[in-house]
Structure 1
């Protein structure tokens, strides 16, 4: 993806139920150390966040019933996986028969360890002592924040919707009330506008795994024998050894609970329309994952076939298809196969250049240049169909086009985007909250016919031609009706009231040239959007 987008995070959970049976998927140390599965599961959702890593385990046989470990960095860095003795020490110290884990990329809050998840809330009473991790974003974060601060003598220590969620859950546990986990989830969901999947573990050994009422964010689970596991993506469960047929997606508005050693799956809100994020299939999710009964690979393959049906460039021995690594490869291969044109690796991604502290406009350019290496022996003298999964800010695409032409020696470059133009921000957990950040809106608002608009875009980027997929191609490729998908970033039609309010704020700021560099729309817009 040009100017790679970042998802907020990934969530995993595992629970070994009590009894004589031991799961064959469990480590050799036995059910009381099922938490040892955490690093492996988190590695499989590492694509969803590389800023911080954390886990909380539950062990009834230690004084610290819940114990939380959080570090900045990747899973390998945080759990010291390259140092056997140190990794073993961490696993032994945090051993438990239940655990939740998290990987994070910041769309809200700062880049320091205090924002790392899980968040743990200590309390003298065990049912009020809990830890939780979540993936997503509350569109009404600022309104909830301001309401909390206006009540009594409240204080918030972080600019994060994670802390808001923690306080809202705590509110349900206040006083002498003893609500069930499902009742807590039902109550807080009426106050949350946005997208979330979460895992919660309390000091009584109870676990909750929930998916938002619209199913915007994914959550998969599997139960085999005494072992329950859940993750943002199915690949984390498949790689643990669960059989594919036992892995399912949690339905929108459903929650799994473990209470008194029994697993239940219940609804915490009434059934309504779904709004699954289509970006999961075309970009965010691991290509080996399946979500809501649709494989990611098959969706990307279908997008490539959609591109092929639209293609008008004459064939010839000098025509090649080149994917922008890595998420575009399935679409590029399918497009090339349908056209009868070679799909070749003309760009090699340097996997060790992605984590950098270079920031700002010049930093983005330098980072993009360092990330991809064109191959002159593949590209020289060729007409290139360059396949990208989406274009967001366009900085990376501009750099790629320059390098493919200057270093690679390509004769022509025709950009093909396996996604419609991104015209609107995301307020549900993708790191783009201001219209000014986006490449397409300035062209779309001209109201030109598609071919004229694409020609202007191509000229701006430095491509010989450019073509996007139409909006209707998304539901065909994902295999879901349009009204079951969140397509807000390509249509401006948001599935929640606060999403739509924030979009209007973003539009007003964009047209009034009032978008502040320091604030994301959802962090500053409580009063404006109200």
Structure 2
């Protein structure tokens, strides 16, 4: 993605079902669980680079001994730093007691993070607050193990104020400003109301049913209770992803299926989706239950997971990204008038590569059809002409190279833009100047800033006659509130284009009309009932907006023609049939809070206010 956006976090959960001595005997190490937790987190490091944290609960500890430990570190190297800290502790203890590695019981007593229940989290700071206090897991401490709770998750809630109001609580700043703060306070409240006369059998299912009924958002969260109970729950619309694996040795959950497959060397069929509205609950005795907590609603799983966020090593995601590219072939051919001889196809590194292969396959299918038609039409075609025909290929070049993550100490805009141009480099000598057309595919176009200030200007240096930017995602028109840091309306190039088209048509007053609708609905407490922002776009076709975007992305220094082609909604649904959460593109939010976020974001735009819409 040329415009980097911060998005969902990553979750990793492990519950060992055997004594630590079992893993020492079978796998040669009592650190089996910690090693797997490290792998799960590293295999999902794409999901969060602002910080990380882990927590461990030890089963059956003696009174007076600590049963829960947590470690959080902020910064892009947080995962390695966390496990380096653990390794250092292990090394120091091993020097003092060389034989301790053969005695798991002693290890559990002396080493903080050796335990049976483990939770790991990778964070992207969607609120721009990346200090360690906002890193997950959060902890609610209590001397009674059944009242001790640590939680982490991949989510955004849009009604945190409402949740705090229902509880009648005034938490500290960190909890109040974090979605997880509202979530852990709510669940902890009902945890404290529960009967804990039998500490080994808390009714986690009942607690979750009481606590989550008013949650509005997209979420997967995990909680560890001090007595050894644990749970992982997914929102009823299935917005955020969650997968799990269970054997007689271990229960595992993570945000990405491929992470589990790789870390535990299991097949795709062994890893299952946690169904919407369900919770995977493991009690202190190791008994596992998959319970429906909230009634599942219409499945609106996030399509951006398939387009960009999740790693392409998942077999389904790989196929879907290929299909996204293939489904664009027809639109590209139409834009080229089916003329591929002087066309070079490439991609913007690095995550658009799979969609690029799909696009190439679609274009090659077209060439094969043409070859068959012409050969059938002329069975007496001369050999040299036939050879030329059957050897035609789509021209492929690696045009753009992202070989360094450049940073600049210069804050002045003009100088900074000059430096940003060089984040990417180009392969010289690949384009016939003034003749060739460059077709370059990107995952999606959010703000368009990098395209305008860097990529298109860079491609123009090669001297192409025309540059066509292809997006494997449809036009991003609306903010997100379920885990992605895309909440400011004015940031979206599609929104800017629609506003510009309204100005061109002398319809600027429409923005004021929509603003008045939002204000009236807000005053009436009905801002959640309808997405009024749809009115910004309803006067224009997708093609009109795409054409305006192309004009806006073409810098005055660029001589080449510039066009933009977007994925159609139909192409998206065809490629990603099980992940049709499309509110970014359509404004059709799966929960009422989404409408409220879109309307508030629009009001902030009109009032020239900064900050997200929730």
TM-score by length of structure 1 reads 0.88
**SS where residue 378 of structure 1 aligns?**
coil
Q: 2:180 aligns with which of 159, 162, 167?
A: 162
Q: Structure 2 stretches of 5 or more lacking a match?
A: 93-106, 197-201, 365-393, 502-538, 555-560
- What residue number does 1:437 align with? 491
Moved more, 414-423 or 497-506: 497-506
Tell me the CA shift for residue 430 of structure 1.
0.6
Residues 127-150 of structure 1 deviation map (CA, whole Å, 9 limit, x = unaligned): 1112111001001124334555xx
- What residue number does 1:7 align with? 7
- What residue number does 2:153 align with? 134
Alignment of 1:288-367 (within 5 A): 288-289=313-314, 295-311=316-332, 312=334, 313=336, 314-340=338-364, 341-350=394-403, 352-353=405-406, 365=417
Aligned-residue RMSD, C-alpha: 2.9
Q: Structure 1 stretches of 5 or more lacking a match?
A: 523-530
Choose 1 or 2 for highest CA Rg.
2
- What residue number does 2:600 align with? 505
**Whole-angstrom CA distance in 1 between matches of 2:450 and 2:91:** 41
Tell me the CA shift for residue 385 of structure 1.
0.4
Pair 359,469 (structure 1): closer, same or farther in 2 beyond 3 Å = farther
Tell me the CA shift for residue 427 of structure 1.
0.8
Pair 337,161 (structure 1): closer, same or farther in 2 beyond 3 Å = same
CA contact (8 A) 2:134 2:174 kept: no
- What residue number does 2:609 align with? 516
- What residue number does 1:525 align with? none
**SS where residue 376 of structure 1 aligns?**
coil
CA contact (8 A) 1:76 1:82 kept: no
Residues 311-353 of structure 1 deviation map (CA, whole Å, 9 limit, x = unaligned): 2214344311111112211111111222132333211223644
**Whole-angstrom CA distance in 2 between matches of 1:328 and 1:153:** 45
- What residue number does 1:528 align with? none
- What residue number does 1:253 align with? 277
- What residue number does 1:485 align with? 580
Pair 210,246 (structure 1): closer, same or farther in 2 beyond 3 Å = same
Alignment of 1:61-72 (within 5 A): 61=61, 63-72=65-74
Pair 152,198 (structure 1): closer, same or farther in 2 beyond 3 Å = closer
**SS where residue 469 of structure 2 aligns?**
strand
Tell me the CA shift for residue 87 of structure 1.
8.2
Residues 165-198 of structure 1 deviation map (CA, whole Å, 9 limit, x = unaligned): 1111111023464452222221222111001101
Tell me the CA shift for residue 362 of structure 1.
6.8
CA contact (8 A) 2:260 2:266 kept: yes
Pair 432,40 (structure 1): closer, same or farther in 2 beyond 3 Å = same
Q: 2:294 aligns with which of 240, 253, 269?
A: 269
Pair 301,144 (structure 1): closer, same or farther in 2 beyond 3 Å = same
Alignment of 1:180-195 (within 5 A): 180-195=203-218
Residues 339-388 of structure 1 deviation map (CA, whole Å, 9 limit, x = unaligned): 1323332112236448x998897798477535322222335634210101
**Whole-angstrom CA distance in 2 between matches of 1:69 and 1:424:** 36
**SS where residue 192 of structure 2 aligns?**
coil
Say which structure is richer in strand. Answer: 1
Kindly tell me the number of residue pairs found equivalent between the two proteins. 507
**Whole-angstrom CA distance in 2 between matches of 1:433 and 1:198:** 22
Pair 191,153 (structure 1): closer, same or farther in 2 beyond 3 Å = same
**Whole-angstrom CA distance in 1 between matches of 2:411 and 2:164:** 29
Pair 437,24 (structure 1): closer, same or farther in 2 beyond 3 Å = farther
**SS where residue 464 of structure 1 aligns?**
strand
CA contact (8 A) 2:73 2:82 kept: no
**Whole-angstrom CA distance in 1 between matches of 2:165 and 2:112:** 39
- What residue number does 1:393 align with? 447
**Whole-angstrom CA distance in 2 between matches of 1:357 and 1:254:** 48
